[in-house]
């Protein structure tokens, strides 16, 4: 088994944190997006989408969505449970996980990719067709990401963890999201004190340095 990974990139970090929480070690192969290694023929032969993370199983099977990879390991090694234990908790974790992705990660990525010269013509990740940047999408992404932080501030005011009373994969996506938000100038400590306090607490978990 091999995990194609990139130390700096947000999505692969979700998988690394998840694996650290589970205490599972998987050999990593670093793919440097800044150097274009994700679009080089050698990597496209592994994953034609040209994105990371990718998990390659020993029989050559490929899994290439962060949460799908996490679910695979949750099924292989159920403890500690990170996706919910009973029907209601499973549904809550799923709902929050998706909200953090769609309202947080997606909008921060839009703000980032539509504004950085390094991503000219590559506003969408991976090996798809050339995608020109649209500055208005960067602006809208930033605005929606700020709304996301406001929403998370309210949520963490009523719940110690994102999906309820214990740490789950929804917190993992949110930790990565809050760190990614800094890349577009959104700092939780400036106007979102509850998010900032939760984030500080999360940073104390050894997994968060994964």
Ligand X SMILES: N[C@@H](CCC(=O)N[C@@H](CS)C(=O)NCC(=O)O)C(=O)O
Question: Taking CB under 6 A as the rule, does residue 177 contact ligand X?
Answer: no
Q: Hey, which residues between 51 and 110 contact ligand X (CB under 6 A)?
A: 51-53, 65-66
Lay out the site mask for ligand X across 30-49 (x = CB under 6 A, - = otherwise): ---x----x-----------
What are the counts of helices (DSSP H) followed by strands (DSSP E) for the chain?
9, 4
**Long-range contacts (CB closer than 8 Å, 24 or more residues apart) made by 126-132:** 126/38, 126/49, 126/50, 126/51, 127/38, 127/39, 127/44, 127/48, 127/49, 127/50, 127/51
Cα separation of 13 and 209, whole Å? 9
Question: Taking CB under 6 A as the rule, does residue 114 contact ligand X?
Answer: no
The residue within the footprint of ligand X, chosen from 17, 125, 145, 163 (CB under 6 A), is 125
Residue 204: how many other CB atoms lie within 10 Å: 7
Query: Do residues 63 and 55 lie in contact, with contact meaning Cβ atoms separated by under 8 Å?
Result: yes
Pick the stretch among 17-25, 122-130, 136-144, 161-169 that binds ligand X (CB under 6 A).
Answer: 122-130
Q: How far is the CB of 16 from ligand X (least distance, A)?
A: 12
Q: How far is the CB of 127 from ligand X (least distance, A)?
A: 7
Cα separation of 112 and 50, whole Å? 19
Query: Do residues 33 and 9 lie in contact, with contact meaning Cβ atoms separated by under 8 Å?
Result: yes
The smaller minimum CB distance to ligand X, of residues 122 and 155, is found at 122
The residue within the footprint of ligand X, chosen from 72, 106, 126, 164 (CB under 6 A), is 126
Pick the stretch among 4-12, 84-92, 149-157, 165-173 that binds ligand X (CB under 6 A).
Answer: 4-12
Residues within the interface to ligand X (CB under 6 A): 9-11, 33, 38, 50-53, 65-66, 122, 125-126
């Amino acid at each position: 088994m091999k995990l194609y990974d990139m130390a700096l990139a947000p999505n692969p970090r979700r998988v690394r944190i998840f694996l650290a929480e589970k205490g599972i070690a998987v050999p990593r192969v670093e793919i440097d997006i800044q150097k274009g290694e994700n679009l080089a023929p050698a990597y496209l032969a592994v994953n034609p989408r040209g994105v990371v993370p990718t998990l390659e199983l020993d029989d050559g099977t490929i899994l290439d969505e962060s949460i799908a990879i996490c679910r695979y390991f949750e099924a292989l090694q159920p403890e500690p449970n990170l996706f919910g234990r009973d029907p209601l908790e499973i549904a809550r974790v799923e709902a929050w996980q998706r909200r953090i992705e769609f309202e947080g990660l997606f909008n921060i990525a839009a703000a980032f990719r539509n504004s950085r010269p390094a991503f000219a013509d590559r506003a969408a990740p991976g090996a798809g067709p050339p995608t020109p940047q649209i500055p208005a999408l960067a602006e809208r992404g930033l605005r929606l990401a700020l709304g996301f932080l406001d929403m998370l501030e309210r949520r963490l005011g009523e719940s110690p963890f994102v999906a309820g009373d214990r740490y789950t994969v929804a917190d993992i996506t949110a930790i990565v999201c809050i760190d990614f938000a800094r890349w577009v100038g959104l700092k939780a400590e400036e106007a979102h004190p509850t998010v900032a306090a939760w984030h500080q607490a999360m940073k104390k978990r050894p997994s968060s340095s994964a």
